[in-house]
Structure 1
Amino acid sequence: MSNSRSKAFTFTLTGHAHIDPVWLWDRQEGIEVVKATFRSALDRMGENPDFHFMHTSAAQYEWMQVHPSLIDEIRGAVNTGQWELVGGQWVEPDLNIPSGESLARQALHGQRFFEHTFGRRARVAFLPDSFGHPNTMPQILKLSGLDYFLFWRPHPHEVNLPANLFWWEGPDGTRILSARIEAYNSNPSDVVDTLKASLDWRAPHSPEWLVVYGVGNHGGGPTKKAIANVRILMDDPDWPTLRMGTAQGFFERSEKLDDHPVFRAPLQYTFRGCYTSHSGVKRLNRQGEHTLSAAEKWSTIATSYGRAYPSERLDRAWKHLLFNQFHDIICGTSIPRAYDDVRYELGEAIGSGKRTIHEAMQVVAHQIDTRHDEHVVVEEAMRRVRTGFGNAVADMGDGVPIVVFNPNPWERREVIDVELNDWHVTDMRVLDDENRPVVHQLASSEAKPPRKRAAFLAEIPPLGYRVYRIIDAPPHPPAEDARPLLARERVLENAWWRLEFDARTGALRRLHDKRLDRELLSGAGAQVLVIEDPTNPWGKGDFFRHLAGVFGEPRIELLEEGPVRATIRITTRWGQSTARQDISIYRDSPAIHGHLQMDWHEEYRMVKLAFPFALEDVTATFSVPFGHVTQPPGGQEMPSQAWLDVTGLLTSTGKPTEANVEQLGDETVSMAEARARYVPYGVSLLNDGKYGADVLGGEVRLSILRSPIFGGGDRPDHPRHVDQYLDQGVSETRWALLPHAGAWQEAGVVHAAQDFNEPLTFVREYAHAGTLPRAKSFLAISPPRTVVLTALKKAEEGDDWIVRLYEPHGRAARARVDLHLLNTSLEVTLSANQIKTYRIGKDGRSREVDFLEEDVRTSSSDVKEPSA
Structure 2
Amino acid sequence: LEGCPKVKLEGPIEFFQDMEAEGGPKHTYTGELYFSAHRGTYTSQAMVKNNNRRCELSMRDLELWGTLAAQKGQTYPAEAIERLWKEVLLHQFHDILPGSSIARVYEDAEKAFHAILEESHELTAKAVAGLVEAGNGVTVGNSLGFAYDTLVELPESFAAGAQTREGKAVPTEKIGDKVYGLTEVPAYGMVSLVPAETQTKAADSVSLTQDGDTFILENNQVKAVVDGKGEVVSFVLKTSGREFAAEPMNRFHLYKDVPRLFDAWDIDSNYIDQEITAAEDVTVTVESTGSLRSVLKVTGRISNSPFVQYIRLDADSTRLEFETAIDWKELHRLLKVGFPVNVFAENGINEMQFGYVERPTRRSRAYEKDRFEVCNHRYSALCDQAHGAAVLNDCKYGISMNGNALELTLLRAAAAPEMHADNREHHFTYGFTAWEGSFADSDVVRQGYEMNVKPVITAGVVDTFSAFGVEKDNVILESVKLAEDGSGDLILRLYEAKKAAVNTKVFTALNVAQAWTCNMLEKKEAEVAVEDNTVSLDFRAFEIKTLRLKLA
Tell whether the structures are fold-level matches, with TM greater than 0.5: yes
C-alpha distance after superposition, 1:802-829 (max 9, x if no partner): 1111111112121222121234222211
* 8 Å contact from structure 1 (residues 564, 587) kept in 2: yes
- Amino acid in the other structure paired with 2:28: V
Aligned to 1:407: 143
1:704 aligns with 2:429: no
Q: What CA distance in whole angstroms lies between the structure 1 residues aligned with 2:200 and 2:471? A: 34
Q: Which of 1 and 2 has greater Rg?
A: 1
Q: What CA distance in whole angstroms lies between the structure 2 residues aligned with 1:258 and 1:306? A: 49
Long gaps (5+) in structure 1: 1-164, 166-202, 211-243, 371-399, 445-451, 650-679, 713-723, 844-868
Aligned to 2:237: 513
Distance change >3 Å, CA 250–CA 463, structure 1 → 2: closer
Quick check: which one's helix share is greater? 1
- Amino acid in the other structure paired with 1:830: F
Residues 488-499 of structure 1 correspond to what in structure 2 (within 5 A)?
488-489=209-210, 490-499=215-224
SS of residue paired to 1:556: strand
* 8 Å contact from structure 2 (residues 41, 264) kept in 1: yes
Aligned to 2:542: 833
SS of residue paired to 1:287: helix
- 1:320 aligned residue (82, 87, 99): 87
Distance change >3 Å, CA 208–CA 827, structure 1 → 2: closer
Aligned to 1:430: 162
Distance change >3 Å, CA 836–CA 207, structure 1 → 2: closer
* 8 Å contact from structure 2 (residues 145, 478) kept in 1: no
Aligned to 1:48: none
Q: What CA distance in whole angstroms lies between the structure 2 residues aligned with 1:259 and 1:483? A: 58
1:261 aligns with 2:27: yes
C-alpha distance after superposition, 1:733-792 (max 9, x if no partner): 112222011222211222221222111121122x7xxxx6x2111111113x13111221
After TM superposition, give the deviation of residue 257 of structure 1 in Å.
6.2
1:842 aligns with 2:541: no
Aligned to 1:810: 499
1:465 aligns with 2:190: yes
SS of residue paired to 1:305: coil
Aligned to 2:335: 607
Q: What CA distance in whole angstroms lies between the structure 2 residues aligned with 1:289 and 1:840? A: 24
Aligned to 2:420: 725
After TM superposition, give the deviation of residue 574 of structure 1 in Å.
2.4
Q: What CA distance in whole angstroms lies between the structure 2 residues aligned with 1:259 and 1:815? A: 34
* 8 Å contact from structure 1 (residues 488, 558) kept in 2: no
SS of residue paired to 1:405: strand
After TM superposition, give the deviation of residue 427 of structure 1 in Å.
4.6
1:285 aligns with 2:52: yes
Aligned to 2:174: 442
C-alpha distance after superposition, 1:459-504 (max 9, x if no partner): 1111111111135x4x62537xx4352212422111222222222x
1:747 aligns with 2:469: no
SS of residue paired to 2:497: coil
Tell me the TM-score normalised to structure 1 length.
0.57
Quick check: which one's strand share is greater? 2
- Amino acid in the other structure paired with 2:309: Q
C-alpha distance after superposition, 1:188-225 (max 9, x if no partner): xxxxxxxxxxxxxxx2x357599xxxxxxxxxxxxxxx
SS of residue paired to 2:249: coil
SS of residue paired to 1:351: helix
Q: What CA distance in whole angstroms lies between the structure 2 residues aligned with 1:428 and 1:515? A: 33
Q: What CA distance in whole angstroms lies between the structure 1 residues aligned with 2:287 and 2:107? A: 36
Tell me the TM-score normalised to structure 2 length.
0.88
Distance change >3 Å, CA 744–CA 579, structure 1 → 2: farther
* 8 Å contact from structure 1 (residues 405, 466) kept in 2: yes
* 8 Å contact from structure 2 (residues 144, 478) kept in 1: no
SS of residue paired to 1:288: helix
* 8 Å contact from structure 2 (residues 171, 183) kept in 1: no
Aligned to 1:648: 384
* 8 Å contact from structure 1 (residues 581, 594) kept in 2: yes
1:454 aligns with 2:179: yes
Q: What CA distance in whole angstroms lies between the structure 1 residues aligned with 2:441 and 2:270? A: 31
SS of residue paired to 2:61: helix
SS of residue paired to 1:516: coil
Aligned to 1:539: 266
Q: What CA distance in whole angstroms lies between the structure 2 residues aligned with 1:317 and 1:583? A: 35
1:686 aligns with 2:392: yes
Q: What CA distance in whole angstroms lies between the structure 2 residues aligned with 1:296 and 1:805? A: 15
- Amino acid in the other structure paired with 1:417: E
C-alpha distance after superposition, 1:21-69 (max 9, x if no partner): xxxxxxxxxxxxxxxxxxxxxxxxxxxxxxxxxxxxxxxxxxxxxxxxx
* 8 Å contact from structure 2 (residues 221, 316) kept in 1: no
* 8 Å contact from structure 2 (residues 175, 289) kept in 1: no
- Amino acid in the other structure paired with 2:543: Q
* 8 Å contact from structure 1 (residues 599, 731) kept in 2: yes
1:630 aligns with 2:358: yes
Aligned to 1:820: 509
Q: What CA distance in whole angstroms lies between the structure 1 residues aligned with 2:422 and 2:438? A: 36
After TM superposition, give the deviation of residue 612 of structure 1 in Å.
0.9
Aligned to 1:777: 466
* 8 Å contact from structure 1 (residues 439, 563) kept in 2: no
Distance change >3 Å, CA 543–CA 311, structure 1 → 2: farther
Deviates more, 1:246-255 or 1:452-461: 246-255
After TM superposition, give the deviation of residue 455 of structure 1 in Å.
1.4
* 8 Å contact from structure 1 (residues 441, 563) kept in 2: yes
Residues 237-316 of structure 1 correspond to what in structure 2 (within 5 A)?
255=20, 256=22, 260-269=26-35, 270-316=37-83
Distance change >3 Å, CA 702–CA 586, structure 1 → 2: same
Aligned to 2:459: 764
Q: What CA distance in whole angstroms lies between the structure 2 residues aligned with 1:468 and 1:710? A: 52
- Amino acid in the other structure paired with 1:264: T
SS of residue paired to 1:616: coil
SS of residue paired to 1:566: strand
Aligned to 1:737: 432
Long gaps (5+) in structure 2: 364-371, 513-532
SS of residue paired to 1:737: strand
1:589 aligns with 2:317: yes
* 8 Å contact from structure 1 (residues 272, 540) kept in 2: yes
Q: What CA distance in whole angstroms lies between the structure 2 residues aligned with 1:412 and 1:543? A: 43
* 8 Å contact from structure 2 (residues 313, 321) kept in 1: yes
Aligned to 1:39: none
Distance change >3 Å, CA 573–CA 442, structure 1 → 2: same
Give the superposed CA RMSD: 2.3
Q: What CA distance in whole angstroms lies between the structure 2 residues aligned with 1:438 and 1:257? A: 61
After TM superposition, give the deviation of residue 453 of structure 1 in Å.
2.6
1:486 aligns with 2:174: no
Q: What CA distance in whole angstroms lies between the structure 2 residues aligned with 1:818 and 1:249? A: 39
Residues 568-587 of structure 1 correspond to what in structure 2 (within 5 A)?
568-587=296-315
Q: What CA distance in whole angstroms lies between the structure 1 residues aligned with 2:58 and 2:270? A: 33
Aligned to 2:368: none
SS of residue paired to 1:328: coil
SS of residue paired to 1:265: coil
Q: What CA distance in whole angstroms lies between the structure 1 residues aligned with 2:271 and 2:239? A: 35
* 8 Å contact from structure 1 (residues 786, 814) kept in 2: no
SS of residue paired to 1:262: coil
SS of residue paired to 2:426: strand
- Amino acid in the other structure paired with 1:483: D
C-alpha distance after superposition, 1:338-386 (max 9, x if no partner): 11221121112121221121111100012x8x5xxxxxxxxxxxxxxxx
Aligned to 2:479: 791
- Amino acid in the other structure paired with 1:346: F
C-alpha distance after superposition, 1:408-439 (max 9, x if no partner): 1211111122345xx5xx95322222334422
Aligned to 1:695: 401
Q: What CA distance in whole angstroms lies between the structure 2 residues aligned with 1:250 and 1:794? A: 32
C-alpha distance after superposition, 1:150-188 (max 9, x if no partner): xxxxxxxxxxxxxxx4xxxxxxxxxxxxxxxxxxxxxxx
Distance change >3 Å, CA 247–CA 589, structure 1 → 2: closer
* 8 Å contact from structure 1 (residues 684, 744) kept in 2: no
SS of residue paired to 1:330: coil
Q: What CA distance in whole angstroms lies between the structure 1 residues aligned with 2:379 and 2:271? A: 20
